Structure 1
Amino acid sequence: MNAVVFDLDGVLVDSEPVWEEVRRAFVADHGGRWQPDTQQRLMGMSTSEWAAYLSGELGVRMTADEVARGVVEQMARRYEDGVPLMPGAVETVRRLASRWPLGLASSSPRALIDVVLDRTGLAASFRATVSTEEVARGKPAPDGYLLAARRVGVDAAGCVAVEDSSNGLRSAHAAGMRVIAVPHPRYPPAPDALALAAYVAEDLGDLTAERVAAAMDAAG
């Protein structure tokens, strides 16, 4: 049995610019200092990991729990104005869900995952969803993808993951999945991470059932 496991931020939702804007402003407003590599380092971290990073490394004068609560509340308010879906996200999810069971392995907190899936009407398309809040380690560790595979009921080796970020590509590959990369034009992955992908798609429209099946066959 095979399955497809999607990332959320940067793949289905164009949320990375929103995350950057919200967290950058939060850092500035609370005495911290944003670094040139901060956004790339944050992509893929679990909530507890990025909150600790903002508090400990960037100098935000709040505890990690306070940072996480404040940033997530601001993100939820932004989503109330509409979820910024990537072009073709709904069509791609429904197209692949008609052929394979789908999972989701996201670094977003559970509250935001549920808001996005409910507001976009995609909740029913996923057999299982995972937030890296629910595992010991965020991406690039494989924990989130391994749990998603278990919840879907498919061995990780039988899964194709769809990812955009360096840490996400590394995470899915470490889990033993074949990976299709859909790089975000504003936040491209590092070359060594992109090299882990079985296929690099131009966009979600390039993610056809035939393309996914070819990746699965290669995995087998």
Structure 2
Amino acid sequence: MTLHRILSWTPAAVVFDCDGTLLDTERHWETARRRVLDDVGLTPAAGFAERAKGLHYTECGQLMADEGGRPELGPDLADRLLRHFRVLVREHPVTMPGARDLVRATAAFAPLAVASNCPRDVVEPGLEEAGLLRHFRAVVVPEGTIRPKPDPDVYLTAAQRCGADPAYTMAVEDTHCGILAAVRAGLTVLGAGPWPGDETAALTDLWVETLEDPRVVRWATERTPLRTTPPKPAAAPSPTGSGLRQATAP
């Protein structure tokens, strides 16, 4: 994958992750996790914060319980985690740098959706508060038969609700868990945030430090509603999603 190809492509749809991509909520999850662990007096293994990033809250609660040596507490910790998180989001809603402008620019040339691991009653009010919800054709979250990331369900469903083939759809993500979901669904992936390491970045088609990156801003504002060949290799992604793409380091 070359830098030129992804930044000269017009996707048929764009699907955004929410936490850490559109809304600055990862810090709230970190605080909520810390509060839950303090509440019950558990200490997870080193590196827990990175392993927990991007997980569905039920899986995160179980991870905390397992690593703290109290696996039976998983459901209770998940409930506590979500309660703390909801309070923090309500009190401190913040958008990520560049997110608002990128959403508005991409909405001018493609249908948009959100694919999130958070509950709907957290995602939609947050996007509404940020003035972004009206730009999205669909908000897809794990519910019913739709499994959470890293399974591909949320991305496959989001592309479908935008009326687009996943192979012609772009995902915007910030976590390894979310990137795996998008890759497994067959989407082109724009990753954004601090450099995640070579393993994660290699799964994306392009990694940028921020959605305010001038290359991304220029790409979004110069698009037209033409649907062109996606910047994809011919081979389908492997089930593990590893080693599929070459990312450009910041």
- For Structure 1 versus Structure 2, the TM-score category normalised by the shorter chain is 0.7 to 0.9
Against the structure 1 CA distance between its residues 11 and 141, is the aligned structure 2 distance closer, same or farther, given a 3 Å change threshold? same
- After TM superposition, the structure 1 = structure 2 runs for residues 68-83 of structure 1, keeping only pairs within 5 Å, are 68-83=78-93
Q: Looking at secondary structure, tell me which structure has more helix per residue.
A: 1
- Which of 11, 24, 38 aligns to 2:34? It is 24
1:99 aligned residue:
109
Letter in 2 for 1:105: A
Percent identical across equivalent pairs?
33
Task: Confirm or deny: 8 A CA contact 1:160 1:215 kept in the other structure.
Answer: no
Task: Confirm or deny: 8 A CA contact 1:160 1:216 kept in the other structure.
Answer: no
C-alpha distance after superposition, 1:10-37 (max 9, x if no partner): 1112221221121122112113213222
Matched, 1:11 2:21: yes
1:208 aligned residue:
217
Task: Confirm or deny: 8 A CA contact 1:46 1:137 kept in the other structure.
Answer: no
2:231 aligned residue:
218
Looking at structure 2, the residues matched to 17 and 26 of structure 1 have their Cα atoms a distance apart, in angstroms, of 14
Letter in 2 for 1:95: A
2:196 aligned residue:
189
Matched, 1:176 2:186: yes
After TM superposition, the score normalised by the length of structure 1 is 0.87
Cα displacement (A) at 1:78:
1.2
- After TM superposition, the structure 1 = structure 2 runs for residues 52-201 of structure 1, keeping only pairs within 5 Å, are 52-59=62-69, 63-135=73-145, 137-183=147-193, 185=194, 188-201=195-208
Letter in 2 for 1:128: A
Looking at structure 2, the residues matched to 13 and 216 of structure 1 have their Cα atoms a distance apart, in angstroms, of 30
Count of aligned residue pairs for this structure pair: 217
Letter in 2 for 1:45: L
After TM superposition, the score normalised by the length of structure 2 is 0.77
The structure with the larger Rg is 2
Mean alpha-carbon deviation: is it higher for 52-61 or for 30-39? 52-61
